[in-house]
Chains A and B, each alone.
Chain A
């Protein structure tokens, strides 16, 4: 008797219909627990889904490009009898109960997968393994129309009673997609020129990492769709630097170092509180104002740029922010950020202080409406009214969405950040 195990997608955070970008196994392959089965891609990151059980891949229910959500059946394993014991059944019971206890299973890369026993189909029941048909709440004629137009019904906003997708919803969806600015740049802009570079000398083609590809697409979308304006300012961080060094000197090796980025994050949090219009998202004819302050910060990893988010920065102290930053940055460098770690940001902070440069124009991380950038602080001669003083001056920039805020508001916001940095005692006000 061979047990079949259905492998289903575990809870992967607040995502639905994420595409499968890679399948690492084929029918007939033997897998052990934690063998990477496939990779899925959210709009922020790719994630490997490891096998929760050992066995032989009997049937793949998905293909590259399939959209999956939590609970989607990915493949069917024949429980491994080769290993002697049959852990699948036990594990299925164990996982099922643990999944019930916690309501969800673990997140992200370390996610354990729910497995369900699948009885060997009897003659009457077996559907020959055909993947489930569209479960959308739509009549057959509407499903046929969606097929004709190539509309994924899951994306259509239903207007019928109890969430029923109607004929007009499908056509409306198509009109909206065609008429909106959501068109990919390639659809509205001519293709960029290509050249046969080998004509000019030796070349090498290096594939982009998944994160780089995703980031590239997102940045390009944000850059094309958001009317960006960037303001520049300088903050006098002489005292802040002295304070930072002082605190780090006092603290032991073990505790988290207070960094300029953590000070910037806190400043951004306070500025968002004072200028709530920056803590918003643009929604066609409305602005969604957020009553929480979560702040993302850019981390450069070998695989590409990622932006983890620190929650409730307005309620946290500098040390707390610094230590959370450290933990998230470590996770990012290890490639272990889960989508949840990268969700919910209100504004992002990007600092090149550790690298150098006077200033830059960061690209807004949509659906946020502003991003705070910082260059490297340099000592400048600053006129104090009677003479020149050597002051550590930090170049700061703010890119903002002109649909949401204007130059005056941005100048005030950035000026407020500079004022805060100038005298950290204001953090306590």
Chain B
């Protein structure tokens, strides 16, 4: 009575001998009607061929690479009446029970950080049916929850506190410091909550389905989501965007201990240590050093490279160092941690470098880079390529080697910055919706929200030489800015890097208050292909920090009257 039928390739349009790029079922599987059996690729598109029946697959006749045409036998199957069909999950020997019916979305975004939610919302605005899978309860990813935003809340407090102290010698003095860590934490948490709540509302307003759990690929169009309850559910997708972000690099030299933290732990602000070690002098390390130092900790710094803020303009790094010397007891460059032990006194760390030694700390921050979260996604199962560092390889439309799967943000490559992820997310969402969007930005700006703030973008003067590019820089020292002097920021600097042949702005560095807010003007200049003269002829308000950008352009043009005549270089005016 058990009938066995052949499943054929149906009429798939005017195609012959199209290649199978994927086989989705194997002998013994139970399939639903309309469940994909094989994926074929014509010169125009890939196409999934669904099962015409619900049934038990007795034998699959095809493998990847085979060519099929209308009428080719795909498999032998035994139909199952719908009411007698066993639970598919059970039949496929999936240990977890299904957490609900299988749903199909036009787009599934894995990860609810800035890149992920930007992509999800953009795609929803373009009319796609979107789900977003997030492993934590709160949306916003590292940036909102344990990164950019809480650190900025604390840096704001640190800056205000130090600013208040700095005016003591100008005739305004406050009483002694009183620190209420609980209140400080709730200010920080409140800031975060305001934003993450907003994200939830935005998702609801757009009908973006949010599923909490850990996603992994089980087929090229299907994800398993492991839920907090221990159960799993499945979703099918037409397109998928991987936006799983990155995690702080944990150094193997350190044991497990609550006094040894990454940026996430440091932002919890459990206590204010007396002695703190920061491992890694990049943006994150220096921001956390600024916060903890302002709150009373003495900081030591260990950096593997010969300089802090590696890759940043050396003039900027010099200013930063001289303004921050008071925060640090020891700065060990070209140095590393060789061993670390913990006991009730603290974390005992042995440092290797020019001045080797062993010191004891109350808190150790590991800020030595971040690694992409690409390991547990089942990428290998569907053949998505990663590079040696674990980044998912993508093209200019953020497509992986599978054209219907995209990757954006930290997991798709450096720089690991939220604003880059957001732009990539929009590109991927638009491309997934069929628009011809590409990531064509010329530059991605960087900001260290320290005191002083450092912002930089584009070609760096010290790197241009090695790349053979002919550039000239024009520097305007804030010692000549009235606003900067009045604000106690005469140490600041604005530098433009200009291509010698085209006179176009190709890079910029700003050091001083609001540097990050001002770098946008230089970003726009680069994207628009503006010349130095375009900026120098733009009237900037006076007295502002921002006018230093216009003044730096005037220095390049040789027309700046706010610097000594000897300081300007005799330059031929850029053509008009």
Contacts and interface: CB of A to CB of B under 8 A. Distances in A.
Contacts, number: 77
Nearest to A150: B436
Nearest to B417: A124
A58 B387 CA distance: 9
A133 B529 contact: no
A144 B431 CA distance: 13
Contact of A127 (B310, B415, B528): B415
Contact of A133 (B312, B440, B468): B440
A59 B387 CA distance: 9
Contact of B305 (A117, A122, A133, A138): A122
B442 A133 contact: yes
Contacts of A117: 466
For the complex of A and B, the 8 pairs showing the least CB-CB separation, nearest first, are: A128-B413, A126-B414, A124-B311, A125-B311, A137-B529, A122-B310, A143-B440, A123-B369
A129 B302 CA distance: 28
Contact of A140 (B396, B504, B527): B527
B282 interface: yes
B509 to A, nearest CB: 13
Contacts of A139: 527-529
Contacts of B415: 124-127
Interface in B396-413: 396, 412-413
A216 interface: no
Contacts of B502: 137, 162
Interface string B541-570: 000000000000000000000000000000
B72 interface: no
A133 B527 CA distance: 11
Given A59-B387, A143-B440, A162-B531, A121 B396 contact: no
A164 interface: yes
A123 B282 contact: yes
Given A123-B369, A127-B415, A164-B529, 13 more contacts: A121-B414, A124-B310, A124-B415, A125-B310, A125-B414, A126-B414, A128-B414, A130-B413, A133-B439, A137-B529, A148-B436, A162-B502, A162-B575
B538 to A, nearest CB: 16
Given A123-B310, A124-B310, A131-B396, A147 B436 contact: yes
B441 interface: yes
A135 B282 CA distance: 29
Nearest to B435: A148
What's the dominant secondary structure at chain B's contact region? Answer: loop
A69 B248 CA distance: 40
A121 B387 CA distance: 14
A181 to B, nearest CB: 27
A134 interface: yes
Nearest to B443: A133
Contact of B412 (A126, A128, A140, A164): A128
Contacts of B413: 126-130
A133 B575 contact: no
B387 A140 contact: no
B247 interface: no
B391 interface: yes
Nearest to A164: B529
A204 B396 CA distance: 41
A143 B312 CA distance: 29
B437 interface: yes
Interface in B444-490: 444, 446, 466-468
Contacts of B442: 133, 135
Contacts of B412: 128
Contacts of A143: 440
Interface centre among B283, B387, B394, B439, by most A CB within 10 Å?
B387
Residue from A116, A128, A144, A147 whose CB has the most chain B CB atoms within 10 Å: A128
A274 B515 CA distance: 70
B438 interface: yes
Contacts of A148: 436
A340 B459 CA distance: 35
9 contacts: A58-B388, A126-B415, A130-B439, A135-B442, A137-B504, A138-B529, A139-B528, A140-B440, A164-B529
Contacts of A134: 440
Nearest to A139: B528
Contacts of A147: 436-438, 440
B441 A133 contact: yes
Chain A CB within 10 Å, residue with most, of B370, B502, B528, B575: B528
Contacts of A128: 387, 391, 412-414
Interface in B299-322: 305, 309-312
A140 B446 contact: no
Contacts of B396: 130-131, 133
A148 to B, nearest CB: 5
Interface in B523-538: 527-529, 531
A124 B440 contact: no
B527 to A, nearest CB: 5
Interface string B267-292: 00000000000000011000000000
A144 B440 contact: yes
A411 to B, nearest CB: 51
Interface string A144-156: 1001101000000
Interface in B330-358: none
B311 to A, nearest CB: 4
Contacts of B437: 144, 147
Nearest to A71: B468
B436 A122 contact: no
B96 to A, nearest CB: 35
Nearest to A117: B466
